[in-house]
Chain A
Amino acid sequence: MMDSKQLYQEVILDHNKKPRNWGKLEEATHRSEGVNPLCGDHIWVAMKVDGDRIEKIAFEGESCAICKASASMMTTAVKGKTAAEAGNLVEHFRAMATGKEDLETSGRHLGRLTVFAGVRDLPSRVKCAILPWHTLHAAFNQQGSTTTEGAADPVAQDA
């Protein structure tokens, strides 16, 4: 079992305390709401997409530190990226968090987002880390809301 100190690293605690791109985005073109009913994580992701590029992104909500830090770091990672580039990050983040990809591969695609790799050893926390990415994906697909449970379960899907 991994050391949760490795999970609750300084960078995660910092993003939890001072989340980047926190708040509403009035001029959003894409929005989605993500809910994990099992643990109560509940976030909103809003983007202004210009052409194919994420020009602005914001999030807010109530969640655990892992979810909030993941959302915060996600927004900084995808800002300025194209839909395809962001989609690539979503895919690799999910693969990393669910242990479907070796860390070296994840590292090449995700850079410092691999700080969340520790959740792969904490099955009950995987969805906390994935929820923001799942919500970003839903926003791109113009789905108003998404959940980590049932048919949309990212962990079950990948299993």
Chain B
Amino acid sequence: MTATALRAPGGNERRLATPLDVERLRADFPILHNVRIDGKPLVFLDNAASAQMPQPVIDRLVRYRTWEHANIHRGVHYLSETATAAYEHARSIARGFLNAGEDREVIFTSNCTDGINLVAHGYGRKFIGAGDEIIITHLEHHANIVPWQMLCEEKGARLRIVPVTDAGELVIDEYERLFNPQTKFVAITHVSNALGTINPVKAMIATAHGHGVPVLIDGAQAAPHLKLDVRDLDCDFYAITGHKIFGPTGIGVLYGKAKLLESMHPFKGGGDMILSVTFEKTTYNHIPHKFEAGTPPIAEAIGLGAAMEYMTGIGHDGIGAHEHALLEYATELLGAIRGVRLIGTAKEKASVLSFYVGDVHPHDVGTILNQEGVAVRTGHHCAQPLMQRFGVPATARASFAFYNTFGEVDALAAAVRKVQKMFA
């Protein structure tokens, strides 16, 4: 157990404990110590938008590109077989990361959005019709709203929305009341990207299954923070993206129960997703290949495997405990600054902190924080309905990863006090 002594504002000595050797981990992230903003060290608190890649992942990408690249599932030659083996090995790693039962239930996508669209097309267009209802929540990212809205428009189906409380928690009673014989699908986020709320998805899935309704979980924001177990959740689909879990962009994973995946339409047509093609008829390939048309992002899939192994190497318990300590410390420091309003105060939260400083617009906050070297996200976080719910056009959002330090939380708080002073 490493403990860092810190002087908290007000002069009270306090000890902040973390199970992680954060300095050793930070050494794996060149960008964290190489980049300076106006001469100030970078304080990267925009991890919920995209996290940084550790050296082992960068090295794996370089090794693949230097020594191993060829197209997969094609040639009988050495490189093609090497690349195929590495790509399929990444699939096995992803299966383990999600605790899925079989490799064939793991589909490589280009990101979480792509995974959700795959289900909206492959499942939704086949099984959802006029008058049917799809349940989503007020916490969703646009990626888990728009594909369902498009499906509803096409089919004459209807979206039903689970409301949120002022703290940013789902109103579960209302969720349960939304079910009726027309309910055909549920799509909910595991962790809110804008507020950090961790939703009780396991119980929500059980409720849906009680009505015979399948459930997709948007896991984009859960994967960086929580140990995932799709079999324990018993979800029907679970979508994640690579670049939020310290892997490359352009790669994501969709888990789906084999039976459902087999019953679905393909999403995209093309090479690799077929068994045989004539001009009269095409026979589709087995899962998962049925959903992986065309040459996939091979290096990115392999890099994602390396990122998952890196996270597993650190251990989710340590990651979770450290991030929770950062969140508590940040909540305390920011909460103590006059005029700072925290948006999203759910009991169960991942390390995401949305806030407002007095009546200063979040974009001004973001620009001034940047001047202090502090990178936060400002904007509507692709969650405009949620922003409307809280009556704000946007928020500033700090999101912490396992490589962030208590000192960086101090830097955030100091920068926020500067904003407050400037606009006083």
Q: Which residues of A are interface residues toward B (Cβ below 8 A)?
A: 1, 3-5, 7-8, 13, 16-17, 38-40, 42, 62-66, 122, 124-125, 128
Contacts and interface: CB of A to CB of B under 8 A. Distances in A.
Contacts of B379: 38-39
Given A13-B423, A39-B394, A40-B394, A4 B371 contact: yes
Contact of A8 (B37, B362, B422): B422
Interface of B: 37-38, 360-364, 367-368, 370-371, 379-380, 393-394, 422-423
B395 to A, nearest CB: 11
A1 B380 CA distance: 25
6 contacts: A3-B371, A4-B367, A40-B380, A40-B394, A124-B363, A128-B363
A66 B371 contact: no
A17 B361 CA distance: 12
A4 B368 contact: yes
A12 to B, nearest CB: 10
B368 A8 contact: yes
A16 B361 CA distance: 11
A10 to B, nearest CB: 10
B361 A3 contact: no
A42 B27 CA distance: 44
Given A13-B422, A38-B379, A39-B379, A7 B363 contact: no
Given A3-B38, A38-B379, A65 B393 contact: no
A64 B361 contact: yes
A63 B368 CA distance: 16
Nearest to A4: B371
Given A38-B379, A65-B423, A4 B363 contact: no
B412 to A, nearest CB: 16
Nearest to A5: B371
A64 B392 CA distance: 12
A64 B362 CA distance: 8
Contact of B393 (A40, A124, A125, A128): A40
Contact of A65 (B38, B364, B380): B364
Contacts of A40: 380, 393-394
B38 A1 contact: yes
Nearest 10 A/B pairs, CB to CB: A40-B393, A64-B361, A4-B371, A64-B363, A65-B364, A64-B364, A4-B367, A39-B363, A40-B394, A4-B368
Contacts of B393: 39-40, 42, 62
A128 B362 CA distance: 12
Contacts of B394: 39-40
A1 B360 CA distance: 23
Nearest to B394: A40
Contact of A1 (B37, B364, B423): B37
